[in-house]
Every structure is written in C-alpha cells, then in structure tokens.
Amino acid sequence: MATKTMTMAKALNEGLRRAMDENKKVLLIGEDIGKLGGVFRITDGLQKDFGEDRVIDAPLAESAIVGTSVGLAIRGYRPVVEMQFDGFVYPAFDQIVSQVAKLRKRSGGHYTMGMVIRLPFQGGIGAIEHHSESPEGYFAATAGLRVVSCSTPNDAYWMIQQSIKHDDPVIFCEPKSRYWEKGEVDLDNPPEHLFDAIVRREGTDVTVIAYGATVKTALRAADTAAVEGTSIEVIDLRGLSPFDTATLEASVKKTGRVVFVQEAPLTASIGSDVIRQITEKCFYSLEAPGLVVGGYHVPYPPTRIEEDYRPTVDRILDGVDRVIGFGS
C-alpha cells in the first residue's frame, strides 16, 4: 500500500493532477492559478504540465469564471473552478444559484452540470476582511447543488477527485487554515464515499460533530475532556449537503448528547439543520437538547480578535459541559 505524507495543499494539487491525467475534459479555471499556482499554490505546476488551455488564468471576474464554466460543462467539459477566497464568491452567486444549480432541471435532465467550485473557506489565518468567511450555508440551502468539506490531506486528495467525477455540481470547501498541515495520504484506496461522515474518534458520553478546520479543534477538545474523564465521540461531517444522517443517528443514539461545531454563525446554518434532523430522528435517545457552538451573529471580526469568534477548545468544552449538565 503506497502512502505518502504531505500537506493538504499538496494533496489537493496531487488530486487535481490525477483527475486531469485520467480525464482530458477536466479543466481548471481561476484567478492567478497558472504561473503563480494560485494564491495558496494549490495548482502549482499544473499549467506548466497541462498547458494554458487546461489551466486557464481567468480575467478577474468571478461571475464570468462560473458563467463560462457553465458553458464549458454544456460543451462536455469538467470545469474545476477556484474561487480565490470565500468572501469573493458572491459576484458568482447569481450564476451558481440561477444557472449551475438549476440548468439540469430546466433542461429536463439533458444538461449535466458536472463541475466543482473550490472554495477556500473559514478563518484562522489572520487575514483582512472577506478572507475568512463560511458561506457554505448559502449553497447548502440551494437545491441542485451539493456541498462537501475536507479536513485531512487524505480526504482532500480523494474527495477532490470524487467531486470531479460526480455528475452534479459540487461546492468544495477547503479549510484554508489547515492547508499547510501534514498527514498521510493513501494513494491507492479511497476512503468512504464523498458524502459519508467519518467517526474520527470513538467515545461514549457526547457526540461532537464538526467539519473543515473545526474537526481538529474538536479532536483537541476530546483529548482534554478525556483527561477529565469525559468520553467524546468526534464525527467529521464531510458531506454538508446532503449529510450522512445514518452515521450521526447511530452515534447520538449511543451517547444521547450532541454538540455541533462550526465557524459559521448559527442562524440558518449547517449546524442548525443537523440538530433539527437529529432531534427528529433521535428524540427519545436525547438526554439534552442539541447545541451548536459557532460564530456569533456578526460580520467576521477583525482577525486580531478572530480567536474569540471561532470555536475554541474551551468553547467546545463549555458546550459539552452544558449538554452533560442539562437539567441538573
């Protein structure tokens, strides 16, 4: 079994390279993705190897990046779009919601919008405004789209390839604060299916569900809690829309308590929808109401204070204490 240790950034790069090798119709489009290799270097070296026709340096217009990708998909190509930052996706929002999400339906199933929109998301890198947002909820709420997020290099490598092969449009959320963290990548065997949740750590007292950058924070919280005698089960959601209710249900029926962790504000969020479904499916197993620990209902703050906005180990443990202490 060939495994290799690499960063998430490199794993995405290798995953894109393999997808491009396997299918000549796969194209990359984005700002500064050619010679520069993207601002995060995810596409480093790909234009050199695949040429300017397959790794397209885009004029700086996000709606056009997605809008032309729609036309390329109609022509039979598989565009993989890079949005430079989460906060810059909004000019493309109209094309994503009005065309990408709906053209299959409108064309009576004749158009296949097989495309991936890569979105470096979440904060934690000390950036200025518009570079640290969590817009995944907007897309998760739109029928016709699918949304996933990776949290490890191995998932990054496989999930990007699985997303490209998928015949539906996939919003691919990459936790930019984890781009430079290393992990083992199994180059031969893909992990679970694209939308399946994975139990990252088994536990018996409380289920903590997270995605993207917060998975690692949740695992650290579980380490700390273990010292104090609390057993936390950590689940990496991976598929945000649709999400894997069966894995969540099995865990919560076992633990009876659940805390959802996200960077996005709570209102109309992935967490609120997951807790709604868990409440419906696990009502008689729950020992306490499900909680969401997440961002506050404010614009993403100046990053000198972002660690007071993003869920920390302490805030997750506070949530865990609240579901354990409920009613007492």
Query: Which residues are part of the catalytic machinery?
Result: 131
57 or 287: whose CB is closer to another protein? 57
Cβ-based burial of 40 (10 A; exposed 0-12, middle 13-18, buried ≥19): buried
Least Å from the CB of residue 50 to another protein: 12
Distances (CA, A) of 145 to 32, 202, 325: 26, 31, 39
Least Å from the CB of residue 255 to another protein: 23
74 or 313: whose CB is closer to another protein? 74
90 or 220: whose CB is closer to another protein? 90
Whether residue 242 is preceded by a cis peptide bond, meaning omega within 30 degrees of 0, is yes
169 or 290: whose CB is closer to another protein? 169
Least Å from the CB of residue 213 to another protein: 26
The closest of 1, 92, 85, 106 to 38, measured between CA atoms, is 85
Token pair of 156, please?
């990054």
Binding residues for another protein (CB under 8 A):
27, 53, 59, 61, 63-64, 66-77, 79, 91, 94-95, 98-99, 102-112, 114, 143-144, 146, 166-168, 242, 245
Least Å from the CB of residue 287 to another protein: 27
Say whether 209 sits in a helix, a strand or coil: strand
Residue type, 178: R
Least Å from the CB of residue 273 to another protein: 11
User: What is the C-alpha separation between 270 and 214, in angstroms, rounded?
Assistant: 13
89 or 103: whose CB is closer to another protein? 103
Parallel/antiparallel/unpaired status of strands 198-201 and 232-236: antiparallel
User: What is the C-alpha separation between 208 and 8, in angstroms, rounded?
Assistant: 23
User: What is the C-alpha separation between 181 and 119, in angstroms, rounded?
Assistant: 18
